[in-house]
């Protein structure tokens, strides 16, 4: 899975500045473990079954995009990344490496890496 490094592991919203350390962090189940283990369809099923996730939640959209890309469903993945990038809130997501990045930035990075995945699939 080429874009597996762009998984959202947790999310918090409306964080001022470069992630205020005294803000509580809301942990959101976005099928990180299933994606990290390469179980893309399980991740899709798990995310879609999670009623606590809003349909426009950037962590949901990015991880759905990652799972769809892993299954070769590149256009669907791109639409998820574009929707996450267009999200209006100030949301930070924790990556698989433990870095906190704005959701818009993470979505754009995933979309850029998707182009590489598409090229590999065409070979």
Q: Which domains, and CATH codes, for the chain?
A: 4-15+28-122 (1.25.40)
List per-residue pLDDT tens for the chain, 123 residues long.
Answer: 233 334 555 444 444 445 455 555 566 678 988 998 999 999 999 999 998 888 999 999 999 999 999 999 999 999 999 999 998 778 888 888 888 888 999 999 999 999 887 888 788
Q: Can you tell me the distance from the alpha carbon of 28 to that of 93, in angstroms, rounded to the nearest whole number?
A: 10
Q: How many helices (H) and strands (E) does the chain have?
A: 5, 3
The encoded tokens of residue 89 equal 């809130």
Q: Give the per-residue pLDDT at 5.
A: 36
């Amino acid at each position: 899975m080429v874009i597996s490094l762009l998984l959202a592991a947790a999310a918090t919203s409306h964080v001022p500045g470069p992630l205020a350390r005294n803000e509580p962090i809301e942990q959101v189940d976005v099928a990180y473990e299933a994606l990290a283990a390469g179980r893309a369809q399980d991740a899709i099923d798990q995310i879609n079954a999670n009623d606590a996730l809003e349909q426009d939640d950037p962590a949901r959209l990015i991880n759905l995009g990652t799972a769809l890309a892993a299954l070769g469903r590149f256009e669907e993945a791109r639409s998820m990344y574009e929707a996450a990038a267009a999200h209006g809130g100030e949301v930070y997501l924790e990556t698989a490496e433990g870095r906190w990045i704005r959701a818009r930035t993470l979505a754009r990075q995933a979309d850029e890496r998707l182009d590489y995945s598409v090229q590999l699939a065409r070979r």
